[in-house]
Structure 1
Amino acid sequence: MTTIENRPSTALLVVDVQNGVVEAAHTRDAVVANVGILIDKARREQVAVVWVQHSDDELASGSEDWRIVPELTPRGAEPLVGKSYGDAFEDTILESVLSGLGVGRLIVVGAETDACIRSTLHGAFVRGYDATLVSDAHTTGDKTEWGAPPPAQVIPHTNLYWSGQEAPGRRAGTVETKDVDFGVTA
């Protein structure tokens, strides 16, 4: 039900599942496995898989930490969007990539829940996209030393928060990996 005209397609947006981002993340292996399940399903159903890869002073482009985790491998035809801000739309080619694919609906997975995932979800939603968060396919590291709640609270809180988002002409929501249907909106 996106507000973006003539963009009926769906894409799986894989955000920052990089070595240095998820190495110490909460339930890392289960989340990466779920992301892998969704990538395989999207490919089988000929749904676009769009990869997002963060770089900054602490995550240098080309470094081992910057690389996508070894369990997941982008295919050559799958777009890879580099970013330097939390919102994957901000100062990137993401919008033009999605436009070229006719995408108006995003299924979002990856890291980090309380940073790039939330920023990207909001970035998508305010730009007119339907945005669904896969509740068991996103994660974050422990930021309690800076006053944040522990990941075991951040993740379900984000799921609760995103499941209640509303805006005219757009849909948001959450779904578990096992229930993802690339043809049905949240």
Structure 2
Amino acid sequence: MREPVDALLIIDVQVAHVTGPGAVPSADALVAQTTTLLDHARAAGALVVHVQNDGAEGLSDAPGTPGWDLHFPVVDGEPVVRKVHDDAFADTGLTELLAQRDVGSLVVCGLMSEMCVSATARTALARGFRVVLPRDAHATTGIPAMNGADPVPAEVVSRVAEWALGDELESVPHAAEVSFRPS
């Protein structure tokens, strides 16, 4: 059994990205695995942080639009960190929040694998956090065929993003393998 983790960061699991025509291809699986992590973290009394992207005007996740809403209801005491950059640490106060709670390790899950999940995990690793990334709890869209190049399936984009984070990252196959400690 792996060492328990202090906190769960749910990155950009917003209505526009997991429901309707703009949903990532594996939205149902992502929601199911994130639910597993969320249930385990809450049951253990661990810190849960919801990260919400403030998309630009006209985008499906622009503040105030139906797609901007978080998919998972926030429970009292669970902070919501709003961001405008891929990296959830950039200009948000997330570092201070985690320091106040004495967090040394965290699980990162959510969207998009090669963008916000990767940028946030990379900064967390650089700042000395132990980072766990369940393979079945982050997702993205594929890359369409362009300029004669073949399309790249979403699953491949996610795996490459995970691989690019390097050896310091603790990648686990399944969200169910993660345990949490109380904050």
TM-score > 0.5 by shorter chain: yes
1:9 CA displacement:
6.7
CA offsets per residue over residues 37-78 of structure 1, 9 Å max, x none?
A: 110110111111111000121232121111112xx2111210
d(CA) in 2 for partners of 1:62 and 1:52? 16
Aligned residues of 1:9 and 1:101 also touching (Cα < 8 A): no
1:131-162 alpha-carbon deviations (Å, 9 max, x no partner): 11111001112332567732021122334444
Q: In the alignment, residue 151 of structure 1 is paired with which amino acid?
A: A
- CA distance in 1: counterparts of 2:74 and 2:145, whole angstroms: 34
Distance 1:93 1:9 in 2: 21
Which runs of structure 2 are paired with 1:67-146 in the superposition (5 Å)?
67-69=69-71, 72-145=72-145
* TM-score between the two structures when normalised by the length of structure 2: 0.84
After the TM superposition, which segments of 4 or more aligned residues of structure 1 sit over 4 Å from their partners? Answer: 145-148
Percent identity reads 34
- The answer for unaligned runs of 5 or more in structure 1 is 1-7, 167-171
Kept in 2, the 8 Å contact 1:132–1:174? The answer is yes
TM-score (norm. length: structure 1)? 0.83
Structure holding more strand per residue: 1
1:153 aligns with 2:156: yes
Task: Calculate the aligned-residue CA RMSD, in Å.
Answer: 2.0
**SS where residue 34 of structure 1 aligns?**
helix
Query: Conserved in 2, the CA contact under 8 Å of 1:35 and 1:109?
Result: yes
Q: How many residues align?
A: 168
Are 1:173 and 2:170 counterparts? yes
